[in-house]
Amino acid sequence: MSKNNKHPVVSKKVFVPFILVTSLFVLWGFANAVTDPMVQAFKKVLELSNSQAAWVQMAFYGGYFCMALPAAILMRKYSYKSCMLIGLGLYAVGALLFYPAAMSEKFWFFCLGLYVLTFGLAFLETAANPYILALGAKETATQRLNLAQAFNPVGLILGLVVAQQFVLKNLQSDDITDFNALDEASKILIKTSDLLVIRDPYVVLGLTIIVVFVLFATIKMPHFKDQKGLPSISNTFSVLFKDRNYVLGILAQFLNVGAMIMCWTYIYQYAEAIEINSVTTGYYQMSAFVLFTIGRAMGTYLLRFVSSGKLLMYFSLLAMAFIFGAVFMTGIEGLYSLVGVSFCMSLMFPTIYGIALENLTEEQSKIGSAGLVMAIVGSALLPKLQGLIIDIGGSGVKDVLILGVPEVNISFVLPLACFFYIACFGFGVFKNKFF
């Protein structure tokens, strides 16, 4: 690791572009965090089951899968900056669609807004991650990406604060013990009011993104070109699928992001099982994001001394221990354990990303990044599966006991399995052998 010390993580000549692109990590962190509590909000306001409400995550993260490869192809043909500008434009449009969605009061319209919004996030993540890797020496690339990703929790915390203070606290439906028992006229009035509350932060976000778009459009950024010319798409895919780090890294990323969103989304259902309301749960999630921030900072520092594969394995094993506690402890201790998982997850995304692209050229990385962003679809599919597990006994969260614990507890065996694979992946990278 000492060779990394010969190269600065971020050189002075690219400091401004690095800061500007790093701000994007804050922006998509905000979108992620403000959306997670919306699953619980839509469930209550629109009288949905857990699995129906999970369509919020399906729409949000499904956009990544659909648009990552087109984003990579456009980025390859034009530039990183062009891709980022398209991403910001789609981000703004998707957020602003919440205005007509609230007027229509249709759940599918909100999901459409989230779907378009994540078209934009797919462009941003497909471009920003490899761009950060390219902004300096290859020896410090993973460390540099962890540094940029360390600002992602800032957006997570801001998003959660907005969701908690301006959405969850103002939902009239959340103050009513038995919303289903109200007469239809009262339900309609409350639904209209609550959907406007949900709408407002997204509209403000959309207007903010327009300002960021203008800023990006006016600032010059380094443009990287492959001196040997562009290989064909088919040749690039052939190289990618022969790279073990890349192929196994895609699966690791799929499971990582799925586990992350399961832990952050269903913390509200977990807390509901021990009779903690959504607003109070928001404080626990805030603690989780603070731990996530601390973990990112510690992970970035430790990568100077510990190999990425070994550190990934250690963090994954610790995550498994915390998840085990969340499954089999049914009181507040289990919630504490679930909060602790966020510390362990902090290192995973950028480290897996860096490992997967480690052996690739810049042009190969442009296409390779698309596969890793497409893997974010795990955040759509796995929470949906967890929602189905929670619904086994009905729309409640503790209708039946499985292995002596409520179904909401047992549903967290899904992230447990995810972290087991990631630990194996880290071990394989560390030992340079796979399963």
Query: Sorting pLDDT into bands at 50, 70 and 90, what band is 225?
Result: low
Closest of 19, 54, 61, 20 to residue 40, by C-alpha: 54
Q: Which of 35-39, 108-112, 356-360 has the lowest mean pLDDT?
A: 35-39
Q: Is 90 exceeded by the pLDDT of residue 153?
A: no
DSSP 181-219: GS-HHHHHHHHHHHHHHHHHHHHHHHHHHHHHHHHHHHS
pLDDT of residue 26: 92
Query: What is the C-alpha to C-alpha distance for residues 122 and 88, in angstroms, rounded to an integer?
Result: 10
The string of DSSP codes covering 298-363 is HHHHHTTTS-HHHHHHHHHHHHHHHHHHHHH--SHHHHHHHHHHHHHHTTHHHHHHHHHTTTS-HH
Mean pLDDT of 90-96: 96
Over residues 278-305, the mean pLDDT reads: 88
Query: pTM of the predicted model, to two decimals?
Result: 0.76
- Which residue is it, tokens 């609550």? 194
Query: What is the C-alpha end-to-end distance of the chain, expressed in Å?
Result: 26
Average pLDDT over residues 339-360: 90
Please say if the pLDDT value at position 234 is more than 90: no
182 phi-psi bin (left φ>0, alpha ψ -120 to 50, beta other): beta
How many Cβ atoms are within 10 Å of 188's Cβ, its own excluded?
Answer: 12
- Residue 284 tokens read as 């626990």
Least confident of 180-184, 214-218, 389-393, 410-414: 180-184
Which band of pLDDT confidence, cut at 50, 70 and 90, is reported for residue 328?
Answer: very high
Q: How confident is the model over 16-63, as pLDDT tens digits?
A: 888 889 999 999 889 888 877 777 778 777 777 777 877 887 888 888
Domain ranges of the chain: 9-223+233-431
pLDDT at 181: 67
Residue 228: CB atoms within 10 Å? 8
Share of the chain above pLDDT 90, in %: 31
- On the question of pLDDT at 323 being above 90, the answer is yes
Name 405's bridge partners.
Answer: 402
- The rounded mean pLDDT for the chain is 85
Asked if pLDDT for residue 5 goes beyond 70, the answer is no
pLDDT digits (tens, 9 = 90+) for 173-197: 766 666 666 777 877 888 888 888 8
* CATH no. of 9-223+233-431: 1.20.1250.20
Where do we find the tokens 């780090």?
Answer: 245
